Chains A and B, each alone.
Chain A
Amino acid sequence: MSAVRNREHGLELLRHMLRIRRFEERAAELYQLGKIHGFLHLYIGEEAVAAGSIPSFTNEDAIVATYREHGHALVRGTSMNQLMAELYGKAAGCARGRGGSMHFFDASRRFYGGLAIVAGGLPVAVGLALADKMHGRKRVTGCYFGDGAVAEGEFHESLNLAALWKLPVLFLCENNLYAMGTALARHQSQPDIAAKAKAYAMGADTVDGMDVLAVETATGRAVELVRNGNGPYFLEYRTYRFRAHSMYDAELYRTKDEVNEWKRRDPIATFEQTLRQARLLRDEDFQQIEAAIATEIEEAVAFAEAAPWEPIEDLNKDVCTDVRRTT
């Protein structure tokens, strides 16, 4: 059993999860108001995974994530201002507004996206790890992806290559039981995802992704194993998305009862309980955290509202490196 080390530790994890939840709740409202467009994939319900795992990586390590990456970027430390501006499509965003919700990038934090082709990030993570290994750097690449990615060829090719070459990559599968509307049992002949990783001769664990402490312990251990040159490692987090796949989704593929059943395991509510029972959380702590987050969010919205658009004249900028620009 993983335990809370002290009050500060507990509040930090709670703060991470609440920041993600409130940021995304606000993003959903802003979407309804027509401030945010396109696809918006919410992470609500899965916060314990990013909150518990991202802090295990050092600033030198690399993160590769998917289109459901708001939480990862927030915990990694990209400012909420930049992330909100990116959702708006403003030039002050973390990808100059060009990517939007699905394509957060932050080179200063070695955050390589924000990649929206399912399983497309795995080979890239393998390559980042290859570069580290060839340079003799003791860095780790953390690669997040969903259960749906497990069906793609790139998943299998990446695991095989990483294990074959003993590369320092940590594969992090966020198994929320659905790939869009297709339930795990309807897309996997062997639904035990960790078992697949083991078949490629790497260590793999299954982790309760609704329990932030379990996520933290398992990820911390796995990152160190990978850092010490033992080759790749694999974690499967069992988690659940509370909202629709994206903003448009009639959710014909699952029952309300099922969703409600999982909501009883809400990672924030259950962790709050844990902290209260251990007498590490007082009402005023909670209120303070909420108030600070609310302020941060409203500042981010104000920042995004006020931020300028990228000028149309810059449309062709950065298609290629400036010296070779031809268009």
Chain B
Amino acid sequence: MTKITYREAVRAGLREALQRDLRVFLMGEDVGQYGGTYACSKGLLEEFGPERIRDTPLSESTFVGAGIGAALGGMRPIVEVMTVNFSLLALDQILNNAATLRHMSGGQFNVPLVVRMATGAGRQVAAQHSHSLEGWYAHIPGITVLTPATVTDARGMLLAALQEPDPVFIFEHAYLYSMEGELEENRPVVDISRAAVRRPGKDVSLITFGGSLWKALAAATQLAQEGIEAEVLDLRVLRPLDIGTILTSVRKTHRAVVIDEAWRTGSFAAEVAAQIMEGAFYDLDAPVARVCSEEVPIPYPKHLEEAALPQPDKIVKAVRTLLG
């Protein structure tokens, strides 16, 4: 095992993908000469050249759409959208074309496209750069939605995504890019169908994904000092959701808190809660709780941003309430 940053892990995944398959290319804003907004693609232009590391103009709808076309034409594009807020400009292409083509064409056309983007708050960049919209994407049938939270997943999910015949969206929490972790080198390609238990426990299930995983783990550490053993689940894949792993955990702990950095109303956390209710209602000792973001555009000042987001202490509080 080696210690690397999340950003380096993404870069390692990109490099391996580009080395393995000549059909793979990367395109997006400032992925080349600038070195990548978050430096994920730094050095790749020099190594693979401008044919395969393509700087695009600011035109999200068109370069995502072009990714769809290139995928239809036999390439394996990796499209980078700088930030999830900007992906809204491409939502038409994503929903109306990428996600529907296979079904709408009666199964004749498939779109093996991988789109990566940064998501999430925590860097004081205010209301047009901080949102967590992966739950919206998880609403869309026809695509796979991945939320790598560890360095092993940051590399391995990208490689796994490239093996999929249909569109895969990877949401990288911007706060994680500088995080260091142990890379499991024997796992270049990881499974992208299952959730993972990141910390076993018996008293309550903390169910989360992406950047919030680390807050849930911090909360679990704090709870352990109070004698509460929390099991922490990292969903990893939002669509298709691995409900089996969730239900197994809830049947053991009988209590669940879902943590999601998106707004509470209509959040992915709401979907998880509903599925727990459908599948394990009689195993529950308490209603499923949610810790989500306040229903406000994310504000700039640190104290307000922190107040708007899920935090370990909010998770701890929710657990204490559940355990009554």
Contacts and interface: CB of A to CB of B under 8 A. Distances in A.
B34 A252 contact: yes
A316 B296 contact: yes
A38 B30 contact: no
A122 to B, nearest CB: 13
B35 A153 contact: no
Contact of B55 (A97, A182, A312): A182
Given A103-B127, A319-B295, A309 B301 contact: yes
Contacts of B308: 315
Interface of B: 29-30, 33-35, 37, 55-62, 85-86, 89, 123-129, 294-297, 299-304, 307-308
Contacts of A179: 29, 57-58
Interface in A131-159: 148-149, 151-153
A187 interface: yes
21 contacts: A38-B123, A38-B125, A89-B300, A99-B300, A103-B127, A115-B128, A116-B126, A151-B59, A152-B60, A153-B59, A179-B57, A180-B29, A181-B34, A181-B35, A181-B55, A182-B55, A188-B57, A253-B34, A312-B307, A316-B296, A327-B295
Contacts of A3: none
Contacts of A250: 35
Contacts of A182: 29-30, 33-34, 55, 57
B57 A39 contact: no
Top-8 shortest CB links A-B = A181-B34, A89-B301, A151-B57, A100-B300, A38-B124, A187-B57, A37-B124, A98-B299
A102 interface: yes
B127 A252 contact: no
Contact of B128 (A102, A148, A310, A315): A102
Chain A interface main SS type? loop
Contacts of B296: 315-316, 319, 327
A186 interface: yes
Contacts of A186: 33, 55
A253 B29 CA distance: 13
A33 interface: no
Given A115-B128, A182-B29, A37 B302 contact: yes
Interface string A178-214: 0111100011100000000000000000000000000
A235 interface: no
Interface in A243-267: 249-250, 252-253
Chain B interface main SS type? loop
Contacts of A84: none
A244 to B, nearest CB: 11
Nearest to A319: B296
Interface in A97-117: 97-100, 102-103, 115-117
A210 B304 CA distance: 39
Interface in A262-316: 309-310, 312, 315-316
Given A98-B300, A316-B294, A319-B296, 9 more contacts: A97-B301, A99-B300, A100-B300, A117-B128, A152-B60, A179-B57, A180-B30, A182-B33, A187-B58
Nearest to A312: B307
Contacts of A148: 57-58
Contacts of B124: 37-38, 89, 100
A179 B32 CA distance: 13
A117 B58 CA distance: 11
A124 to B, nearest CB: 13
A50 interface: no
A181 to B, nearest CB: 3
A89 B302 contact: yes
Given A38-B124, A152-B89, A315 B34 contact: no
Contacts of A249: 34
B172 to A, nearest CB: 17
A38 B304 contact: no
A28 to B, nearest CB: 16
Given A98-B126, A152-B89, A38 B34 contact: no
B61 to A, nearest CB: 6
Interface in A77-127: 89-90, 97-100, 102-103, 115-119
A325 B44 CA distance: 49
B123 A98 contact: no
A35 to B, nearest CB: 11
A152 B29 CA distance: 12
A37 B128 CA distance: 15
B301 A315 contact: no
A186 B85 CA distance: 24
Nearest to A180: B30
A180 B34 contact: yes
Nearest to A182: B55
Contacts of B304: 89, 97-98, 309-310, 312, 315
Contact of A149 (B58, B127, B297, B302): B58
Q: Report which residue of B30, B300, B302 has the largest number of chain A beta carbons within 10 angstroms of its beta carbon.
A: B300
Nearest to A117: B128
